[in-house]
Structure 1
């Protein structure tokens, strides 16, 4: 039996994101991704006027006459949310933590998919896969996803994007639109991300807090790595310390974005003090224009 206060919180986020979904759908959610779900249907003999690029050379070689491949475009999408629940998601210096934004993002995207009659699934991960729910349709299904986004208590505390993507590649056989939601405080995932990007339509969503880049002058503070537990003391009143902190943070951010460019992925950047729907809508509009 789900406690009443839990149901009330799920209902509140459902109502809040419902209005945002209407805005997002007006921002061309479906048209931004259409045409990617192309599946092989059958082969038939080549006819005059057919596109020679569609010739199936293997069948042609076996039969001594030209055959072409026929494809059909799927009307519905299969969407998977890969969501990072590592300990670093608990960080936030404003009204919301990164975990709050991650839950709002996941709920908004899940409801957008359901409203478009698409299937949507969820994989929650830390340094291992914590929970995986296959893509399905329906309002009851999306409420289950929202519940897991809000209340899943992860066992692990670290981050392994590699593990999450390997699980995706094993379990999702058909081409899927994948929203990879994380702060990307991790390494050693480029090769598997490249493999996943060839098979699926990967959209990285980078969630961060402004204070992870810009350190304010607040005197002597203790910084603790949420994932490793390591702590250091930093004198933020020292200008050189603040500049070094910001320099290292920007280097990490730039290296991550260079990695995305190498794999030809276009990330979405979301901050804990930003407007989630406006950020998503701009991205989908830009993506539709590129297509």
Structure 2
């Protein structure tokens, strides 16, 4: 399974490596975009300052102005504290990857970047780990130590017994444990049962974003003769002739049909969705999403 044989020292070293990389990205690339994309719930009084030409006269604090015999204005700032929930697919299919990195490794970095971006803006972060059931729930909190705990869990967690994927269960759990509106990032390859209804309910309550993480081999079957393949989640095995063009075309069509289903389901619910391939740079994808909000 995923890094299950790592020692404590190796885990801590990897946590630190991920922190350095993703915290740098969040500080220098995403902090401004995140802040612009997710504004606070309103404005709260911060302080007063002397009036300067061009200030809105509606903001004049008449009590302070009377006391000092010249005008002062009220200064407001955003109530920025929000809650970010990460819904993380840890099913067996997340352990697939034909390049240098597995889907789970990409998901781990995405979670870390989003967590540090949220922390920079003083937002809380929580996690729901799921497979075909809820595997673990980390309630939202603030602070670097909390984010480092999340990264450690991302590196080491394994599904207790579930091997499949059920996005609907994760969304239903989100609705049941988070009563107030949250920003929710759902990260999965979406090898799952239909999930339109729970997606619709969750997107009505929360600001929901889906991130489809996939490998090139999920989309294109390599031409390599007769191969014995095994489904990571069901365990089913079969022989396929990858030299058969019809087989390869059907494989690609199945992936495209499923991706279309996911995009349509998110669009109908009013939620956002983006795709990230394991051998491509996710930075540009995230930047484009934040700037497009």
TM-score with structure 1 setting the length: 0.83
| 1:8 aligns to 2:10 (yes or no) | no
Ranges in structure 1 where 5+ consecutive residues have no aligned partner: 40-71
Larger mean CA deviation between 204-213 and 14-23 belongs to 14-23
Name the residue aligned to 2:98: 93
Q: Partner of 2:24 in structure 1?
A: 19
Partner SS state of residue 244, structure 1: helix
CA shift, 1:100, in A, is 0.8
2:220 corresponds to:
214
Candidates 135, 150, 156, aligned match of 1:151: 156
Match of residue 206 from structure 2: 200
Q: How many residues align?
A: 253
Whether 2:154 is the aligned partner of 1:141: answer: no
Report the 3-state secondary structure (helix = DSSP H, G, I; strand = E; otherwise coil) of the residue aligned with 2:15.
helix
Q: Secondary structure at the match of 1:267?
A: strand
Q: Distance in 2 between matches of 1:105 and 1:247?
A: 28
Q: Deviations over 1:83-140 (max 9, x none)?
A: 0000000110100010111111111111111111111111111111111111111111
User: Any conservation in 2 of the 1:24–1:280 contact (CA below 8 Å)?
Assistant: no
- Structure 2 counterpart of 1:173, from 159, 179, 190: 179
After TM superposition, the runs of 4+ consecutive aligned structure 1 residues lying more than 2 A away are: 22-27
Larger Rg over CA atoms: 2
Which residue does 2:263 correspond to in 1?
A: 257
Partners of 1:203 and 1:144 in 2: how far apart?
23
Q: CA deviation at 1:210?
A: 1.1
Q: Distance in 1 between matches of 2:150 and 2:141?
A: 10
> CA shift at 1:150, angstroms?
0.7
1:119 alignment partner in structure 2:
124
* Counterparts of 1:175 and 1:26, CA distance in 2: 21
Supply the distance in 1 between the matched residues of 2:215 and 2:86 (Cα, whole angstroms).
21
Counterparts of 1:276 and 1:27 in 2: how far apart (Å)?
17
> Shift of the alpha carbon at 1:81?
0.3
User: Per-residue displacement from partner, 1:211-235 (whole Å, max 9, x unpaired)?
Assistant: 1111121111122111100112111
Whether the 8 Å CA contact 2:80–2:122 is kept in 1: the answer is: no
Determine if the alignment matches structure 1 residue 248 to structure 2 residue 254: yes
Please tell me whether the aligned partners of residues 78 and 119 of structure 1 are also in contact (alpha carbons under 8 angstroms). Answer: yes
Distance 1:252 1:241 in 2: 17
Distance 2:30 2:247 in 1: 45
Structure 2 gap ranges (5+): 1-6, 44-76
Q: 1:26 and 1:79, CA in 2 relative to 1: closer, same or farther beyond 3 A?
A: closer
TM-score (norm 2): 0.82
Distance 1:106 1:188 in 2: 24
> Mean Cα displacement is larger for which, 24-33 or 5-14?
24-33
| RMSD, aligned CA | 1.7
